[in-house]
């Protein structure tokens, strides 16, 4: 369960940035009063054009950046008060997530399992589960630098899930990946839903959203411009296609 209430994130602008943006404002507000709730067993999508504030919002949810104002609760834990407890509940994956190229998948998984205080027995069980699920046994002891993009993505997935997080955050998870590699992510997201995990993912690919999403929030210029279920989005459409409707909402809010 994720509960974000009245989130604000402001970045201080340097003189150079002020000149470049042609503004006299001291700060740039990347996220402006955003609130939403993601429920377990449902896939929540955060949509928006480039620069809308999606990544900043997800970074706040995953405790990487601290909100300027507002609160976030992850499974009932206030992340401002207890960030490490909240982190134990979160799995985080992006399309550009890197891995330690000189380590093997076994070593990477062990590292993150240790950081998440996963017991040895639980680690072995979960590791074997993901190795079998994604056919990873053949390359488990190879250095990651020697693996293909698809293999690396499988390692990233196993790394995200090794501590059995209740909340999984995906920031444009298929960005830059080919169709086959993207399919691994899509399967992972579906599996998470089946396992009653809370899933939030950001994207600007409407076909992906249509395929997976239960609830969605569209943000533009840091503000929520649509909030509801996928069903509500479809019913209220004034354009013929999902992409067209998404563009219409963005244009209207500009």
Residues at the interface with another protein (CB under 8 A): 11-12, 59, 62-66, 84-85, 87-88, 90, 92, 94, 96-103, 107, 111-112, 114-117, 143, 159, 169
Distances (CA, A) of 248 to 49, 225, 226, 237: 12, 11, 11, 10
Say how far apart CA 6 and CA 72 lie, in whole Å. Answer: 9
Q: How far is the CB of 114 from another protein (least distance, A)?
A: 5
Minimum distance, C-beta of residue 93 to another protein, in the bound complex (Å): 8
Residues 24, 218: Cα–Cα separation, whole Å: 28
In terms of CB distance, is 103 or 225 closer to another protein? 103
Specify the residue, 3 or 143, whose C-beta has the smaller distance to another protein. Answer: 143
Beta carbon of residue 88, minimum distance to another protein (angstroms, whole number): 5
CB of 84 to another protein, least distance (A): 4
- Cβ contact 28:52 at 8 Å: no
Residue with smaller CB distance to another protein, 76 or 236: 76
Query: What is each CA distance from 79 to 47, 60, 186, 219, in whole angstroms?
Result: 23, 9, 28, 22
Q: Which is nearer to another protein, 192 or 250 (CB)?
A: 192
The least CB distance from residue 76 to another protein, in Å, is 16
Q: Which is nearer to another protein, 116 or 218 (CB)?
A: 116
Going edge to edge, which strands form the sheet with 90-94? 90-94, 167-171, 198-203, 43-47, 215-220, 223-229
* CB 125 to another protein: min, Å: 20
Closer by beta carbon to another protein, 176 or else 236 = 176
Q: Which helix (H) or strand (E) holds 206?
A: helix 206-212
41: left (phi over 0), alpha (psi -120 to 50) or beta: left
CB of 111 to another protein, least distance (A): 5
DSSP 21-78: HT---SEEEEEEEEEEEE-TTSEEEEE--TTSSHHHHHHHHTTSS--SEEEEEETTEE
Using the minimum distance from each CB to another protein, give the nearer residue, 104 or 206: 104
């Amino acid at each position: 369960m994720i509960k974000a209430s009245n989130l604000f994130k402001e970045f201080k602008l340097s003189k150079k940035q002020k000149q470049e943006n042609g503004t006299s404002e001291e700060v740039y507000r990347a996220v402006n009063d955003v609130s939403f709730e993601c429920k377990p067993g449902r896939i929540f999508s955060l949509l928006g054009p480039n620069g809308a504030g999606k990544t900043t919002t997800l970074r706040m949810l995953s405790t990487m950046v601290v909100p300027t104002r507002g609160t976030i609760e992850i499974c009932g834990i206030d992340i401002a008060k207890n960030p490490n407890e909240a982190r134990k509940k979160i799995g985080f994956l992006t399309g550009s997530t890197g891995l330690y190229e000189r380590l093997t998948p076994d070593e990477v998984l062990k590292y993150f399992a240790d950081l998440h205080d996963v017991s040895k027995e639980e680690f072995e069980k979960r590791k074997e589960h993901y190795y079998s699920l994604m056919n990873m046994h053949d390359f488990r002891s190879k250095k990651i630098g020697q693996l293909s993009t698809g293999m690396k993505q499988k390692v990233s997935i196993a790394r995200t899930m090794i501590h059995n997080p209740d909340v999984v955050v995906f920031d444009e998870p298929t960005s830059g990946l080919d169709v086959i590699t993207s399919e691994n992510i899509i399967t992972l997201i579906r599996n998470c839903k089946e396992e009653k995990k809370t899933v939030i993912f950001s994207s600007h690919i409407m076909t992906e959203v249509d395929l997976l999403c239960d609830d969605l929030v569209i943000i533009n210029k840091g503000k929520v411009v649509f909030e509801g279920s996928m069903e509500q989005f479809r019913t209220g459409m004034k354009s013929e296609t999902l992409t067209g409707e998404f563009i219409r909402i963005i244009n209207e809010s500009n």
